[in-house]
Amino acid sequence: MAEKGQVMTQPEDHSLQLVVNLPELLTRVDNDRELLRELVAIFMVEFPRLLNTLRENIARRDLKQVESTSHALKGMLAGLSAKRAAATAARLERMGRNGDLSCLTDMASVLEREVEELLPELDSSIMEPNQ
Amino acid sequence: MKILVADDEIMTLRLLEQSLDKAGYDVVSARDGRLALEQLCLPYGPRLALLDWNMPGLDGPAVCEQVRKRSESPYIYIVLVTSRESKQDVVLGLESGADDYLIKPWNPEELKARLRTGQRILRLEDRLVEARETMRFKATHDHLTSLFNRGSIVDLLDRELTRTRRENSCSVIMMADLDHFKMVNDSFGHLVGDEVLREVARRLLGSVRSYDLVGRYGGEEFLAVLNNCDTSQALLRAEQIRNAVANFPIRTMRGPLAVTMSLGVLSSRDWPLSNSEEILREVDAALYLAKAAGRNCCQLAKPNSAIETPQELLK
């Protein structure tokens, strides 16, 4: 809640250094690894689809859709406590809202790299036994 | 308790469904705003709702606005759950009719605590509605018989006469009075009198259709308004009511009592332009004639004082 607002506006926050904030994520799913596995499976399908849509939005210079798709990505990543990637999606959302076309493509690539980094962490998180 | 969760983003939706299901809620899901609104408008639909802001069809605030337009429906407690975190968005969301605003990603314990707050408010609202309905019933019904009281039955008669004229249909109005009721009170006491009144009220209600109207007009006087009832049926229906009272003694704490009733009967078709005051005067005059004719009978009021009894109809 409020912590997220701080994350978005305070880049020095240490939680941003974490690819996935696993304790927070486990709290969110009530330590239910089965549910976590299901969410990660959904993410594996939904993220590439949304990223692809984002790239199409950028290619068409459709800033309204850039904002909307980035918003959806931000929500999904924040839901997985992937704060750094969520912050990047939030930057993309702001760029779409502000009509800033300068580095949208680069930023989308940054987001893709950050998500590639978090996938192993998500994988390991779902392999650990229930506490 | 039933709760609606509306979000177009499937991961969030799944997470909410699971955690609320575990918390004991009966979860209903929707993936766009129109479906969410449909669910909330269903009779006995969810009274708690978690709505995402950005949804296809209708966004969260638009769903709130539509829900709040339904002023007669039970209150729905709505929480907007969104990653829009600016103060302007919070204000906009709350002004659209949301009761609470939660920013994604939420803390699960905080979410549950806020929903418990919502349930407390809904329980309070239910108690207020119940109290209002009790007050409304008391203000419109007679406390002894639970029939409509005099003010209500006259208002309903007014409305019924207006509807009858508009639809060019016919209503039958009856004024009924228990015969020699003063003797019941004087001989057996007022508690027995009350027992008689309650039982007569029960029999009156049992002798009419569910959509007919019956009220206690005075001490032992009752007024009945029979909707969509033709003149030719008026005396027949009145006789049924009279028999329902006269044919079986009323059980009281002082033993069974034979009670009869006289009725004045009027068909609105015979007085097409009269208001309720004139109608009441005419039907009361017919009741007076029934009393004069020996009681325990019915008299049909006719224009120009042409009074008919069942016997005359048979001639």
Query: Looking at residue A19, what is its pLDDT?
Result: 80
Residue B144 lies in a domain: no
Query: Looking at residue A10, what is its pLDDT?
Result: 45
pLDDT digits (tens, 9 = 90+) for B190-247: 999 999 999 999 999 999 999 999 999 999 999 999 999 988 899 999 999 999 999 9
Query: Looking at residue B305, what is its pLDDT?
Result: 52
Do both B210 and B281 map to the same domain? yes
**What distance in Å separates residue A59's CA from the closest CA in chain B?**
23
pLDDT digits (tens, 9 = 90+) for B43-88: 999 999 999 998 888 999 999 999 999 878 899 999 999 888 889 9
Q: CA nearest B15: which of B1, B2, B29? A: B29
Query: Looking at residue A5, what is its pLDDT?
Result: 40
Residue B129 to residue B134: CA distance in whole angstroms = 9
The number of distinct structural domains making up chain B is 2
Question: Of the residues B82, B115, B139, which one is the last residue of a structural domain?
Answer: B139
A25-54 residues touching B, CB cutoff 8 A: 27-30, 32, 35, 38-39, 42-43, 46
Residue B299 to residue B252: CA distance in whole angstroms = 29
What percentage of residues in chain B have a pLDDT greater than 70?
96
For chain A, give percent helix, strand, coil, nearest 5: 80, 0, 20
Question: Of the residues B112, B139, B166, which one is the last residue of a structural domain?
Answer: B139
Which CATH number does the domain housing residue B120 bear? 3.40.50.2300
Residue B308 has pLDDT above 80, yes or no: no
Do both B22 and B134 map to the same domain? yes
Which pTM was predicted?
0.71
Do both B58 and B116 map to the same domain? yes
Do both B163 and B302 map to the same domain? yes
B95 is catalytic: no
Do both B298 and B157 map to the same domain? yes
- Tens digit of each residue's pLDDT, chain A (131 residues): 334 444 444 444 555 556 888 888 998 898 888 899 999 999 999 999 999 999 999 999 999 999 999 999 998 999 899 999 999 999 999 999 988 888 899 999 999 999 998 888 888 877 755 44
Strand B100-103's sheet: what is its strand order? B26-30, B2-6, B48-52, B77-82, B100-103
Domain boundaries, chain A: 19-125
C-alpha dihedral, A121 to A123 to A124 to A127, nearest 10°: 160
Q: What is the pLDDT confidence band of residue B310, given thresholds at 50, 70 and 90?
A: low
Q: Name the token pair of B311.
A: 């016997």
Residue B4 has pLDDT above 50, yes or no: yes
Which CATH fold would you assign to the domain A19-125?
Four Helix Bundle (Hemerythrin (Met), subunit A) (1.20.120)
Average pLDDT, chain B: 93
- Confirm or reject contact between A88 and chain B (CB < 8 A): no
First-to-last CA distance in chain B?
Answer: 66
**What distance in Å separates residue B121's CA from the closest CA in chain A?**
23
B interface residues, A as partner, C-beta within 8 Å? 8-12, 14-15, 18-19, 22, 54, 83, 85, 102-108, 110
Residue B91 to residue B61: CA distance in whole angstroms = 11
Q: CA nearest A126: which of A42, A39, A48, A45? A: A39
Residue A21 to residue A83: CA distance in whole angstroms = 7
pLDDT digits (tens, 9 = 90+) for B245-291: 999 999 999 999 999 999 999 999 998 878 999 999 999 999 999 99
Query: Looking at residue B46, what is its pLDDT?
Result: 97
pLDDT digits (tens, 9 = 90+) for B33-51: 999 999 999 999 999 999 9
What percentage of residues in chain B have a pLDDT greater than 90?
85
Q: Is B154 in contact with B280 (CB distance < 8 Å)?
A: yes
Query: Looking at residue B175, what is its pLDDT?
Result: 98
Q: Measured in whole angstroms, how far is the alpha carbon of residue A130 from the centre of its chain? A: 25
Contact yes or no for A28 and B83 at CB 8 A: no
Do both B199 and B108 map to the same domain? no
pLDDT digits (tens, 9 = 90+) for B11-30: 999 999 999 999 999 999 99
- A2, A39, A72 ranked by CB distance to B14: nearest: A39
**Residue of chain B whose Cα is closest to the Cα of A26:** B108
Query: Looking at residue A126, what is its pLDDT?
Result: 77
Residue B42 to residue B25: CA distance in whole angstroms = 18
Residue B145 lies in a domain: no
B173 or A13, which is more confident? B173
Residues of B within 8 A of A46 (CB-CB) are 9-11
**Is ipTM over 0.85?**
no
Which entry of B160, B199, B220, B282 is annotated as an active-site residue?
Answer: B220
Do both B294 and B179 map to the same domain? yes
Query: Looking at residue A22, what is its pLDDT?
Result: 87
Strands B255-257 and B250-252: antiparallel
Residues of B within 8 A of A32 (CB-CB) are 18, 22
Question: Of the residues B118, B139, B160, which one is the last residue of a structural domain?
Answer: B139
Residue B170 has pLDDT above 70, yes or no: yes
Residue B298 has pLDDT above 70, yes or no: yes
Do both B133 and B8 map to the same domain? yes
Do both B129 and B177 map to the same domain? no
First-to-last CA distance in chain A?
Answer: 25
- B11, B85, B105 ranked by CB distance to A43: nearest: B11
- Quote the domain boundaries for residue B291: 150-314
Do both B119 and B177 map to the same domain? no
Query: Looking at residue B302, what is its pLDDT?
Result: 86
